[in-house]
Amino acid sequence: MSTREIFDGRLEAALLLAPTLLVSVVFLYYPTALAFRTSLFDSGFGRAEEFVGLENYLTLLGSSAYHSSVVISVVFAALVVAGTIAVSLYLTFLIHEVDTGQGWYLISVIWPYALPPAVAALVFLFVFHPTLGVLTGPIEALGLEVDWFNDGPQAFLVVLLVAIWKQIGYNVIFMIAAMKNIPDALTETAELDGVGRLHRLVSVYVPIMTPTLFFLVIINTIYAFFGTFAFVDLLTSGGPANATNVLIFDLYREGFSFFNFGVASTKSVVLFLVVAVLMVIQFRLTEEYSYYGA
Amino acid sequence: MSAIQYTKRRFEALRRAIGGDDEEESAALTGSEESVGVHLQLWLLVGMVAFPILVAVVVSTKQQGIVTSLPDLVPGTYAVENYREAIVDYGFGRFMWNSLLMSVVVVVGKLVISVLAAMAIVYYRVPYKDLVFLFVLFTLLLPVPVRFIPLFQLINDLGWGNSLLAITVPYLASATTVFILRQHFLSIPTSIVETAKLDGVGPVKFTLQVLVPMSKGVLVGVSIIMFVYAWNQYLWPLVIIDSEANQVAQVGLQLLQGDVQGGQLSWSLVMAGSVLTLLPPLALMVLFRKPLLETFAIQQK
């Protein structure tokens, strides 16, 4: 390590770090501090700021609408994580199992990584449109009524599906690397022992891939909380009857529909705590696994 | 096992995965009849993953874009007209240009200032630099959704509202990029670094003649990650850009969505806009998949 430190101009080093530090302080740290401050004020367009202490926090604590948004977000995140990991793991496993065309299969599965969320949302809006959708007919032929413009659980399901679809690519990218790292000897032993294919995935591969899977659980949770705004905005606008009003969309509405910057800042602080907790868990886990690996 | 060894093994694995050295995966391991089943499942799943986009492509070539059943999914003959109309009449030329400008500025800016920061963190003997690195890394806790309300106020106070500055400068500091570059710099053998020192190479020459040539793959990979990230931004441009002339493609899609729901627009145009918006990040990803995947291998560490 020390042999890499071949330069020692302090001023030079400071200048090299200055642009990153400047942008971090002005556009990342300062706004966050501002959010903490404004969360203690009554603040909005066209009215004077007034210090209210913890009143905004108490408002949120007592707000059943906010509680339901929290519950929706947590359930949504859990389902996004479970769905994404399950689908991606199975896809990765299939790719791992084939002998020919691996490169081709891989790219045809990981491309949604590049898919813009707004595009994903509009395409889903069209494919599952209650009156015009291509898949609406086939689904209704099964005896189900497609009515997610009015039906809360259906709307939730559509947003969930699009969120999982978009996240598959990113997950497979990491899973395939982890699965390829599993020693061939283990696979061979499992096969000699007559362990079936799926059983091999669940009881041999998954335990070895645990560090990667934990990493993806955290990444997918953060994605479910923060990366899904476009889906909700374009597909459901939080409706019907707030059935898809996840925290990030709720925050956006508080700020830019109702212009309650005080309450919106309080909601930002809550979201900050969510990221903080998730990141701490991730750091802990990474540390733990690097001990095992040492 | 050290992080670097670990990373190297991942590299190897990835190279095998994308390089298509399929022969060495012994075919004897899996019966070939079973493989047919695996291939069939894969084809089915690949088809399902691609299906919505294939529909979008087909619909973007039709006159009205009314496709209510699977047999309607045959390409139409209005592709040229639809795409022309989306680009010219519905402003997608303009939106795409704005997105491109934003993404290129963000990629180049991030890359330059992150290389500088990582250079200082790895190759300079200065006090507190670990603390500085932590300070940069800590910004991972502050994604746009957590701070867009105060950032909106700050940017407007600066007089940057509705401008290219607003959708580029706040993105320039990047914990992820600095982290990936630092990891990569730490994997460059010390012997090379020491040789450079013995030769009396200065920092500028060292960066341009040693660091950059030895980091080409990572720099490309990081650029793709950053481009996809910048191009796909939706929430921040939505709140800070309020004129169509300066709007980006993602939010341009929202404008189309409003029109189509209001019945003033045909779905074929919305799908044309969607396909256009998807193309740049998709093309870059497919073209540069190899350095991209290698860079991801570093990121997870």
Domain locations in chain A as residue ranges: 55-293
- Which of the four pLDDT bands, split at 50, 70 and 90, describes residue A106? very high
Q: Do A134 and B70 touch (CB under 8 A)?
A: yes
Please determine, for residue B10, whether its predicted confidence score (pLDDT) is greater than 70.
no
Among B25, B90, B124, B266, most A C-beta atoms within 10 A, so best to mutate, is B124
| Token output for A119 | 């595009």
Please determine, for residue B16, whether its predicted confidence score (pLDDT) is greater than 80.
no
CA atoms within 13 A on the CB side of A170: 24
- Which of the four pLDDT bands, split at 50, 70 and 90, describes residue B18? low
Q: Give the pLDDT of residue B163.
A: 95
Q: Do A3 and B170 touch (CB under 8 A)?
A: no
Nearest CA in chain A to B250: A118
Q: Do A290 and B3 touch (CB under 8 A)?
A: yes
Q: How far is A85 from chain B (nearest CA, A)?
A: 15
Q: Give the pLDDT of residue B14.
A: 56
Q: How far is B135 from chain A (nearest CA, A)?
A: 8
Q: Do A31 and B293 touch (CB under 8 A)?
A: no
Q: Do A5 and B197 touch (CB under 8 A)?
A: no
CB contact at 8 A, A159 and A232: yes
Q: Give the pLDDT of residue A258.
A: 92
Residues of A in contact with B33 (CB under 8 A): none
Domain assignments of chain B as residue spans, ordered by start: 87-300
Q: What is the ipTM of this complex?
A: 0.92
Q: Do B120 and A17 touch (CB under 8 A)?
A: yes
| Token output for B170 | 């706040």
Q: Do A124 and B141 touch (CB under 8 A)?
A: no
Among B14, B59, B149, B190, most A C-beta atoms within 10 A, so best to mutate, is B149
Q: Give the pLDDT of residue A131.
A: 86
Which residues lie closer than 8 Å to A98 by C-beta, 6 or more apart? A105, B35, B38, B39, B42
Q: Do A116 and B278 touch (CB under 8 A)?
A: yes
Least confident stretch, A215-224, A284-293, B97-106, B227-236: A284-293
Among B22, B126, B136, B186, most A C-beta atoms within 10 A, so best to mutate, is B126
Q: Which of A86-95, A124-133, B123-132 has the highest mean pLDDT?
A: A86-95
Q: Do B139 and A13 touch (CB under 8 A)?
A: no
Q: Which CATH number does B87-300 carry?
A: 1.10.3720.10
For B274, the closest of A17, A108, A122 (CB atoms) is A122
- What does the pLDDT look like over A185-231, one tens digit per residue? 998 888 888 888 889 999 999 999 999 999 999 999 999 999 999 99
Dihedral, CA of residue A91, residue A97, residue A99 and residue A101, to nearest 10? 0
- What does the pLDDT look like over A242-271, one tens digit per residue? 999 999 999 999 999 999 999 999 999 999
Q: Give the pLDDT of residue B13.
A: 56
Q: Give the pLDDT of residue B12.
A: 56
Q: Do B170 and A286 touch (CB under 8 A)?
A: no
Q: How much of chain B is helix, strand and coil, in % rounded to 5?
A: 75, 0, 25
Nearest CA to A65 out of A234, A227, A236, A253 is that of A253
Which residues, in sequence order, are bridge partners of residue A51? A41
How far apart CA A251 and CA B146 sit, in angstroms, is: 9
CA B11, distance to chain mean position in Å, is 20
Residue A9's alpha-carbon distances to A14, B93, B203, in angstroms, are 9, 48, 10
Q: How far is B218 from chain A (nearest CA, A)?
A: 16
Among A122, A186, A290, most B C-beta atoms within 10 A, so best to mutate, is A122
Please determine, for residue B27, whether its predicted confidence score (pLDDT) is greater than 50.
no
Nearest CA in chain A to B56: A123
Q: Do A21 and B135 touch (CB under 8 A)?
A: yes
Q: Give the pLDDT of residue B26.
A: 42
Residue of B157 and B297 predicted with greater confidence = B157
Nearest CA in chain B to A32: B147
Q: Are strands A41-44 and A47-51 parallel, antiparallel or unpaired?
A: antiparallel
For B234, the closest of A17, A100, A117 (CB atoms) is A117
The mean pLDDT of chain B is 87
Residue pairs between chains A and B whose CB atoms are closer than 8 Å: 324
How far apart CA A17 and CA A22 sit, in angstroms, is: 9
For A119, the closest of B113, B116, B274 (CB atoms) is B274
- Which of the four pLDDT bands, split at 50, 70 and 90, describes residue B21? very low
- What does the pLDDT look like over B44-89, one tens digit per residue? 999 999 999 999 999 999 987 777 777 778 888 888 999 999 999 9
- What does the pLDDT look like over B137-176, one tens digit per residue? 999 889 998 899 999 999 999 999 999 999 999 999 989 9
Q: Do A31 and B301 touch (CB under 8 A)?
A: no
For A123, the closest of B55, B70, B185 (CB atoms) is B55
Residue of B2 and B190 predicted with greater confidence = B190
Q: Do A226 and B149 touch (CB under 8 A)?
A: no
Please determine, for residue B190, whether its predicted confidence score (pLDDT) is greater than 70.
yes
Q: Do A226 and B145 touch (CB under 8 A)?
A: yes
Q: How far is B197 from chain A (nearest CA, A)?
A: 6
Give the residue-averaged pLDDT of B252-260: 88
- Which of the four pLDDT bands, split at 50, 70 and 90, describes residue B1? very low
For B253, the closest of A122, A134, A177 (CB atoms) is A122
The mean pLDDT of chain A is 92
3-state class (DSSP) for residue B63: coil
Least confident stretch, B176-185, B228-237, B263-272: B263-272
Nearest CA in chain A to B24: A99
- What does the pLDDT look like over B82-138, one tens digit per residue? 999 999 999 999 999 999 999 999 999 999 999 999 999 999 998 888 899 999 999
Q: Give the pLDDT of residue B262.
A: 76
Decide if domain A55-293 falls under CATH 3.40.50.10490.
Answer: no
Q: Give the pLDDT of residue A14.
A: 94
Q: What is the 3-state secondary structure (H, E, C) of A14-30?
A: HHHHHHHHHHHHHHHHH
